[in-house]
Structure 1
Amino acid sequence: MYRFLWSRQWVILTLLGLVMIPTMIRLGFWQLHRHEHRVANNNIIAASLRATPLPVEKVTHPGAVLPHSDLYRAVTAKGHYDTAHEFVARQRTAGNTQTDDQSGGQQIGYHVITPLVLDDGRAVLVNRGWIAPGDDPAAFPKIPAPPSGEVTVTGRLRPDETTSATGIRNKHGLPERQVMLISSVLDAEDVPARLVSGYMELVSTSPKPAAGQPALIPEPDHSSIGPHMAYAIQWWLFTLMVPVGWIVLFRRERAEILAARARPETPQEPEGSVPVAV
């Protein structure tokens, strides 16, 4: 009755199902783990943004490895800007700073990176915000000057950028004072003061700077959890569909065999026979 299960078609179908079930279960857990990571990351960012700002020199130092728990940590820094060693990070989008182009996409420009020399002689890189590109991409863009003299800045602490973390490939031979990655390690030789690890995304400055400053980098999104949980549930539903589909096909095949056996066989006359009249 069930000899059809050993046919080539059914053996392949069964083996394929046995492979798909654990694969899709693993894919579901992979998406679940991504969801959990996203939620945990959002909690870290939210806590860091709500925290009372600490002096940057108490959170980082030259050569430090910033822990993930300090991602976007609110920090303050007091000192004066070193505009002589200011540079820009290339190919940066404006985010939601109201500078999107007319086609609906985000305009590509620069992030302005200015070292802030602290009172102890060390310096921290400050991402002062986004500016539009000039007509000549090889020329250093015109950048609004920051406040002169001693300032106090508040910002979000970010780890040094790397290609593996950002997907931005570092390039050599770029125009003067232009970089691809914002890194206290890669940019240390271009800044005379010793740089602390990481950099700051500027949030506010005291005293208040003049108008026309670079557009501040927007606060990171820490409310969206993405579609990963929905994807996990989909994979597990697909997993359930495999045995259900196998059973449906099995019952259909079995019903067809039973129906074929239930049909009476019609006797066939041998070829070439001639009816005999009585």
Structure 2
Amino acid sequence: MGVYRFVLTRQWVCLTLIALVLIPAMIKLGFWQFHRHEHRVAQNELIAKNLYAKPVPVTGLTSPGHTVPRDDYWRAVTATGTYDPAHEVVVRMRTSNNDKVGFQVVTPLVLDDGRAVLVNRGWVAGGDDPRAYPPVPAAPAGEVTVTGRLKADETSGDSGIKDRKGLPDRQVMLIDSEQQAAAQGRPVLGGYLELTAPLPPGGSPEAVAEPDHDSIGPHMAYAVQWWLFAAAVPVGWVVLVRREKRDREEAAAKAVPLEPASA
């Protein structure tokens, strides 16, 4: 064992301690990525289940002041009422399906009982003046029945979008049913709908794209990579120890003086 005393030197003690820290850290990072993979798979399953479920009346899933739970996100719902263009707003800094920046158009649909539900009719480009209300195709007149995906009210915490004040008239940063209820002076159902039918002729506003529920992302691959790195650390340590031992033995052999030849 004497030849391995070098592993007790300060250099090798430090190297060993670093290895002992790296191994559990990499294992933990692997499980973190694995749990992200599991979350993504579960979310994809939830989206697919809710998107393709039979549509139900929106009033059966939400009400004024209600917070839409995650289990109801993207649920297919229907609503019948009359659009109220006077209280229509546009949501700033939203991207189209091909990543152009513009606005999303949110128009209240007033139900028979006087309550309203916010309908995100889709994306439109801005005009020449960014502070002016953009050109928006008019919502259908008269009573209509719409189908859409139920979404929760947007918050700064969930979206990362700051709810700025002092915006131009009828422009907002977030889709918030309570804010719109105060502005409209009537009860508004919690959350909002992303319109899926009937879609406008000519494709404007541009319908919000269906959420991705096919790709699972790279998280599982990242998890495996971290675990392989964790396994490689002790292997690398052993390789370095053996190399150090070999180098020391070779150096010791060269240092032994040659015995003089016999006369």
Tell me whether 257-266 or 16-25 shows the greater mean CA deviation. Answer: 257-266
Counterpart of 2:77 (choices 57, 75, 78) is 75
Matched-pair contact (CA < 8 Å) for 2:90–2:104: yes
Instruction: Give the equivalent residue in structure 2 for 1:275.
Output: none
Matched-pair contact (CA < 8 Å) for 1:117–1:193: no
Distance (whole Å) between structure 2 residues aligned to residue 163 and residue 192 of structure 1? 24
- Measured after TM superposition, the shift of residue 212 of structure 1 is 5.7
1:83-126 CA deviation, whole Å, 9 max, x = no partner? 0000000000002xxxx4xxxxx210000000000111110000
Distance (whole Å) between structure 2 residues aligned to residue 254 and residue 143 of structure 1? 77
Q: 1:115-154 counterparts in 2 under 5 A?
A: 115-154=108-147
Distance (whole Å) between structure 2 residues aligned to residue 123 and residue 213 of structure 1? 23
- Measured after TM superposition, the shift of residue 187 of structure 1 is 2.6
- Measured after TM superposition, the shift of residue 164 of structure 1 is 1.4
Matched-pair contact (CA < 8 Å) for 1:146–1:213: no
Q: 1:192-211 counterparts in 2 under 5 A?
A: 192-205=185-198, 209-211=200-202
- The structure with the greater share of residues assigned to helix is 2
**Uncovered stretches (5+) of structure 1, i.e. residues with no partner:** 101-105, 268-278
Secondary structure of 1:186's counterpart equals helix
Secondary structure of 2:177's counterpart equals coil
Counterpart of 1:6 (choices 5, 8, 12) is 8
TM-score normalised by structure 1 residue count:
0.89
Matched-pair contact (CA < 8 Å) for 1:79–1:150: yes
Counterpart of 2:24 (choices 22, 37, 55) is 22
Instruction: Give the equivalent residue in structure 1 for 2:237.
Output: 246
Higher Cα radius of gyration? 1
Secondary structure of 1:187's counterpart equals helix
Distance (whole Å) between structure 1 residues aligned to residue 87 and residue 111 of structure 2? 15
Matched, 1:56 2:47: no
Instruction: Give the equivalent residue in structure 2 for 1:274.
Output: none
**RMSD value, Cα:** 1.4
Counterpart of 1:37 (choices 33, 36, 39) is 39
- Measured after TM superposition, the shift of residue 254 of structure 1 is 1.0
Letter in 1 for 2:205: P
Letter in 2 for 1:239: A
Matched, 1:259 2:261: no
Letter in 2 for 1:135: D
1:184-218 CA deviation, whole Å, 9 max, x = no partner? 1233221222111000000012xx75546301111
Matched-pair contact (CA < 8 Å) for 1:88–1:177: yes
Matched-pair contact (CA < 8 Å) for 1:129–1:217: yes
**Uncovered stretches (5+) of structure 2, i.e. residues with no partner:** 259-263
Tell me whether 46-55 or 179-188 shows the greater mean CA deviation. Answer: 179-188
- Measured after TM superposition, the shift of residue 264 of structure 1 is 5.8
1:140-177 CA deviation, whole Å, 9 max, x = no partner? 11211111110000000000001111111111111111
Runs of 4+ more than 6 Å apart: none
Letter in 1 for 2:227: W
TM-score normalised by structure 2 residue count:
0.94
Secondary structure of 1:129's counterpart equals strand
How many residue pairs are counted as aligned between the two chains?
Answer: 256
Identity %: 58
